[in-house]
């Protein structure tokens, strides 16, 4: 027997009370993990935005295009390191309901700028030299069961081929992974030369440009320089940081993050009250036993720690169960294509886990502190003299 045995026995002596407390904590941490991962999915775009990347779009709207010549003009602006560009394709696979987000890009410069997309040198070279090739994000490939070398029909709900129809035949030259877990890999990249050779509209254009700067400090100056360069032209530009661009995009969905935070806060506040009250009650029921421990010679500090540890144990067991359950459930959800299409970055991040563990400890300490303090201050003679 040791102190931990006593702590455990004290915790489990009232099975019903313990189960109810565990359940409440379980639910709170389950919510925290599950809703946290959804919040992450929304925030991922903003968090992952590189500090040194700027996005240049048409100032009328980001659905309006820009002339191809802008790429070289921007490249010559001081402080600009790299430039790449992309176009919307609006892709689907076989059925318009089966979305397959596709960007039309310049392969070399795009992968250079978006260095978080990882391909082997072999895959890169094959794609760079194969106009009909595409590279597909890991998540998208998983959704449709595509593999490297597959020839797939990819249709556009915006563009058509000059020979008629909306469906391009492409070959998967590589499947890209994200450098970190949160990187979105639910889209594919198509060779711009292949697209412009085969599509029906006259000419070429750019949807938007992504620019990297020599130093994030210069972002603002460079943004202004770019926009000034094209001021009063037929296609004026609006340059923002990638983070701001992504955020604007996400805000159309509403501030989910804030709502989730509020829900989780409410849940935590409730269990703080419930569990705190119940711990207080359980110590009040045991004043005599605590007095006996002290009479036997247990130092007050040791009794304090034992009561605090009981709360910590409860919070950690309930919290870990809830978090693990959330992890398992989220893991299961990411196997469902219908869900990953909406939430491509659904993961419980290490940061969420760390916060959860911190919250467990905080909950344990807060709910255990006052009961433990009561135990610490308990006068043995008073407690033992009452029948």
Partner 1 sequence: MTDFIYELKQVHKKFVKGQESVEIFDGLDLGIKRGDFVSIMGPSGSGKTTLLNMLGGVDRPSSGALLFDGNPINDLNEGQLAKWRADHIGFIFQFYNLMPMLTAEKNVELPLLLKKLSPKKRKENVATALELVGLGERAKHRPNELSGGQQQRVAIARAIVSDPDVLLCDEPTGDLDRSTATDILENLQLLNKEFNKTIIMVTHDPVAAAYANTSLHLDKGVFVEKDVAA
Q: Return the residue of 68, 274, 292, 321 that touches partner 1, per CB under 8 A.
A: 292
Site for partner 1 in 140-169 (CB under 8 A): none
232, 297, 338, 350: residue in contact with partner 1 (rule CB under 8 A): 297
E strand or H helix that includes residue 189? strand 188-191
Question: How far apart, in whole angstroms, are the C-alpha atoms of residue 152 and residue 133?
Answer: 10
**Would you say 350 or 381 has its CB closer to ligand ATP?**
381
- C-alpha 243/C-alpha 42 separation (Å) is 13
Site for partner 1 (CB under 8 A): which residue of 75, 82, 131, 288? Answer: 288
- Bridge-based pairing of strands 188-191 and 102-105 is parallel
For partner 1, the closer CB: 145 or 297:
297
**How far apart, in whole angstroms, are the C-alpha atoms of residue 69 and residue 54?**
18
Interaction between residue 298 and partner 1 (CB under 8 A): yes
Does position 16 bind partner 1 by CB under 8 A?
Answer: no
Residues listed for the chain:
387
Which residue in 87, 299, 321, 372 binds partner 1 (CB under 8 A)?
Answer: 299
Could you tell me which stretch among 9-17, 130-138, 229-237, 255-263 binds partner 1 (CB under 8 A)?
A: 9-17
- Tell me how far apart the alpha carbons of residues 341 and 284 are, in angstroms, rounded to a whole number: 53
Among candidate residues 108, 117, 103, the one with its CA nearest the CA of residue 50? 117
Of residues 32 through 71, those in contact with partner 1 by CB under 8 A are none
Min. distance of Cβ 318 from partner 1 in angstroms? 20
Q: Cβ distance 70 to 209 under 8 Å?
A: yes
Of residues 142 and 288, the one with the C-beta less far from partner 1: 288
User: In the complex, what is the shortest distance from the CB of residue 379 to ligand ATP, in angstroms, rounded to a whole number?
Assistant: 8
* Least Å from the CB of residue 292 to partner 1: 5
Between 203 and 387, CB nearer to ligand ATP: 387
Q: Which residues contact 117 (CB under 8 A, 6 or more apart)?
A: 111, 135, 137, 176, 177, 178, 179, 183, 185
Q: Using the rule CB under 8 A, is 294 a contact of partner 1?
A: yes
Selected range binding partner 1 among 6-14, 126-134, 253-261, 316-324, rule: CB under 8 A = 6-14
What is the DSSP secondary structure assignment for residue 66, as one 8-state letter? Answer: B
Binding test (CB under 8 A) with partner 1, winner from 45, 64, 233, 293: 293
The stretch among 10-18, 179-187, 206-214, 270-278 that binds partner 1 (CB under 8 A) is 10-18
At its nearest, how many Å lie between partner 1 and the CB of residue 9?
Answer: 5
- List helix spans (H) across the chain: 3-12, 15-48, 70-75, 107-113, 121-128, 138-144, 192-198, 219-229, 242-251, 256-284, 287-296, 300-333, 337-342, 350-377, 380-385
Cβ nearer to partner 1, comparing 270 with 295: 295
Q: Closest approach of Cβ 33 to ligand ATP, in Å?
A: 50
* Interface pattern 240-279 for partner 1 (x via CB under 8 A): ----------------------------------------
- Nearest in space to 86 (alpha carbons), one of 124, 114, 60: 114
Q: State the DSSP string of 123-171.
A: HHHHHHT-TTEEEEEHHHHHHHT--TT-EEEEEESS--BTTS-SEEEEE
- Residue 72 binds partner 1, judged by CB under 8 A: no
Round to whole Å and give the CA distance between 372 and 322. 25
Binding mask 186-225 for ligand ATP (x = CB under 6 A): ----------------------------------------
341-380 binders of partner 1 (CB under 8 A): 380
What distance in Å separates the CA atoms of residue 284 and residue 23, rounded to the nearest whole number? 22
Smallest gap from Cβ 387 to ligand ATP, in A, equals: 10
Instruction: Look at residue 224 and give the partner it binds from ligand ATP, partner 1, none, a contact being a CB closer than 5 to 8 Å depending on partner kind.
Output: none
Residue ranges binding ligand ATP (CB under 6 A): 381-382, 385
């Amino acid at each position: 027997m040791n102190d931990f045995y006593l702590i455990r026995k004290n915790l489990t002596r009232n099975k019903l009370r313990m189960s109810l407390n565990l359940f409440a904590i379980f639910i709170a941490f389950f919510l925290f993990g599950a809703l946290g991962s959804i919040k992450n999915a929304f925030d991922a775009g903003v968090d992952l935005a590189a500090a040194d990347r700027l996005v240049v779009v048409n100032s009328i709207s980001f659905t309006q295009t820009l002339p191809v010549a802008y790429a070289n003009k921007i490249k010559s602006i001081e402080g600009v390191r790299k430039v790449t560009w992309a176009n919307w394709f609006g892709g689907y696979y076989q059925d318009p309901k089966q979305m397959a987000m596709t960007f039309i890009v310049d392969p070399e410069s795009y992968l250079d700028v978006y260095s978080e997309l990882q391909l082997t040198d072999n895959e890169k070279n094959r794609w760079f030299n194969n106009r009909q090739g595409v590279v597909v994000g890991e998540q998208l490939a998983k959704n449709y069961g595509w593999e490297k070398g597959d020839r797939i029909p990819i249709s556009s709900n915006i563009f058509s081929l000059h020979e008629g129809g909306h469906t391009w035949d492409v070959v998967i030259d590589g499947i890209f992974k994200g450098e970190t877990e949160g990187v979105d890999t639910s889209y594919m990249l198509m060779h711009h030369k292949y697209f412009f050779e085969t599509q029906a509209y006259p000419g070429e254009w750019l949807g938007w440009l992504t620019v990297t700067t020599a130093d994030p400090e210069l972002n603002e100056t460079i943004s202004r320089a770019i926009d000034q360069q094209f001021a009063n032209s037929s296609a004026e530009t609006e340059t923002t940081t990638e983070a701001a661009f992504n955020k604007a995009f996400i805000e159309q969905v509403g501030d989910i993050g804030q709502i989730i935070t509020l829900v989780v806060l409410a849940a935590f506040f409730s269990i703080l009250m419930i569990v705190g009250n119940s711990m207080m009650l359980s110590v009040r029921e045991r004043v005599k036993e605590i007095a006996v421990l002290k009479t036997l010679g247990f130092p007050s500090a040791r009794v304090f720690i034992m009561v605090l540890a009981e709360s910590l144990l409860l919070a950690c067991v309930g919290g870990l169960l809830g978090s693990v359950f959330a992890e398992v459930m989220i893991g299961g959800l990411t196997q469902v294509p219908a869900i990953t299409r909406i939430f491509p970055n659904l993961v419980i991040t290490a940061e969420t886990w760390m916060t959860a563990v911190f919250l467990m400890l905080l909950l344990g300490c807060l709910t255990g502190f006052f009961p433990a303090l009561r135990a610490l201050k308990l006068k043995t003679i008073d407690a033992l003299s009452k029948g």
